[in-house]
């Protein structure tokens, strides 16, 4: 995906941005502690990046190089 295309949350239309390495580490730690999970309740697959909201409450993972912008598969912090 071209970086010059604005990305928004498909449900709320809130802007999304590429997560920093520190944000990815914090997200993975929150998942491990059970403080973040997929919206549909399924296990979070391995991911190499994510697009996040500014407040970090929602993330759309990048799996095998492909951003997954499906609302049910987004990662939400509790």
Res. 6: pLDDT tops 90: no
Q: Residue 71: what are its φ and ψ, rounded to 5°?
A: -55, -45
> What pLDDT, on the 0 to 100 scale, is given for residue 78?
85
- For 28-75, write each residue's pLDDT tens digit: 999 999 999 999 999 999 999 999 999 999 999 999 999 999 999 999
> What pLDDT, on the 0 to 100 scale, is given for residue 3?
59
Contacts 24+ apart (CB under 8 A), 62-70: 67/1, 67/7, 69/7, 69/10, 70/10
User: Which residues are paired to 49 by β-bridges?
Assistant: 62
Domain boundaries, the chain: 7-77
Count of residues making up the chain: 78
């Amino acid at each position: 995906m071209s970086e010059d295309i604005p990305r928004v949350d498909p449900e709320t239309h809130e802007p999304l941005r590429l997560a920093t390495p520190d944000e990815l580490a914090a997200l993975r730690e929150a998942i491990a502690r059970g403080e973040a999970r997929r919206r549909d309740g399924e296990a979070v697959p391995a991911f190499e990046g994510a697009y996040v909201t500014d407040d970090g409450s929602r993330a759309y993972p990048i799996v095998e190089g492909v951003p997954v912008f499906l609302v049910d598969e987004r990662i939400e912090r509790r």
